[in-house]
Amino acid sequence: MVKLRNGGKAGIVMKIGVLALQGAVVEHIRSLELAGAEAVAIKRVEELEGLDGLVVPGGESTTIGKLMRKYGFIEAIREFSAQGKAVFGTCAGLIVLASEIEGQDEAHLELMNMKVQRNAFGRQRESFETDLNVTGINEPIRAVFIRAPLIAEVGEGVEVISTYKDEIVAARQNHLLACSFHPELTDDYRLHAYFVDMAREAAAGRS
Ligand SMILES: NC(=O)CC[C@H](N)C(=O)O
């Protein structure tokens, strides 16, 4: 049993889904629970009903995209976002949210106005950890990069909230959030808490 951080204090507990087609699902569920949310694994589109937010985890974006098409998640998540519900893409999830993928004709959800480059840090090091400053979070957060993408360009409405060596590694567009790294692989759940707050703001805006 995980203790809820905001349980009583912040009022209603946000219900956040983690898309469970492929990738790091259990770790996101744990971080979301530490951040005070109720977290559930989502395998079918019907399960999006009643959620306040959705995490699209890391893994392999081509595989996740393929499975999303197969199970009807592309239209369903676009509709979910159109209702103003919060969506958070991490690593491969960031790629899935982008409107454009460098070197590929087709993108996936096309929800966030940005162009991404896959495996952008691969030539330097396959994976690494670092501390990153994120706008809206007081102290630097611990970030794990694994064959990570970067955000090559952002369009209108997208706010850059973190950079690493001058490259964009996290961004926000209203109720949409994306990061290049894996925030679920450390004990530092503050980016999840940031997202749960976004979901709460979005829910307040809908009611
Ligand atoms: N850790 C990850 O999610 C890696 C993303 C993967 N390299 C891709 O392009 O989909």
- Per-domain residue ranges of the chain: 15-206
Determine if residue 147 is labeled as part of a ligand binding site: yes
Determine if residue 59 is labeled as part of a ligand binding site: yes
The answer to whether residues 187 and 2 touch, using CB atoms and an 8 Å cutoff, is no
Determine if residue 61 is labeled as part of a ligand binding site: yes
The answer to whether residues 145 and 179 touch, using CB atoms and an 8 Å cutoff, is no
Specify the range with the lowest mean pLDDT, choosing from 53-57, 92-96, 124-128, 196-200. 124-128
pLDDT digits (tens, 9 = 90+) for 9-29: 457 899 999 999 998 899 999
Cα–Cα nearest to 188, from 149, 138, 151:
138
Whether pTM exceeds 0.90: yes
Residue 28 falls in the annotated catalytic set? no
In sequence order, which ranges of 60-130 are alpha helices (DSSP H)?
61-70, 73-82, 92-97
The answer to whether residues 97 and 178 touch, using CB atoms and an 8 Å cutoff, is yes
* Range 104-111 contact pairs with CB under 8 angstroms and sequence separation of 24 or more: 108/61, 108/64, 108/65, 108/68, 108/74, 109/56, 109/68, 109/74, 109/77, 109/78, 109/81, 111/77, 111/78, 111/81, 111/87, 111/173, 111/176
The residue type at 31: S
Atom of ligand 1 nearest to the CA of 95: 10
3-class secondary structure, 29: helix
pLDDT at 7: 45
pLDDT digits (tens, 9 = 90+) for 164-202: 999 999 999 999 999 999 999 999 999 999 999 999 999
Residue 184 falls in the annotated catalytic set? yes
Q: Which residues contact 33 (CB under 8 A, 6 or more apart)?
A: 2, 4, 39
pLDDT at 5: 52
End-to-end CA distance of the chain: 31
Burial class of residue 186 in the structure, from the number of CB atoms within 10 Å of its CB (0-12 exposed, 13-18 middle, 19+ buried): middle
Residue 91 falls in the annotated catalytic set? yes
185 CA to centre of ligand 1 in angstroms: 14
**DSSP-assigned letter for residue 182:** B
Cα–Cα nearest to 178, from 139, 138, 148:
148
Q: Which residues line ligand 1 (CB under 6 A)?
A: 58-61, 91-92, 95, 118-119, 146-147, 149
- The mean of the pLDDT values for the chain is 94
- Superfamily, domain 15-206: Class I glutamine amidotransferase (GATase) domain (3.40.50.880)
Q: Whose CA is nearest to atom 9 of ligand 1?
A: 118
| Partners of 178 in beta bridges | 89, 171
How much of the chain is in helix, strand and coil states, percent to nearest 5? 30, 30, 40
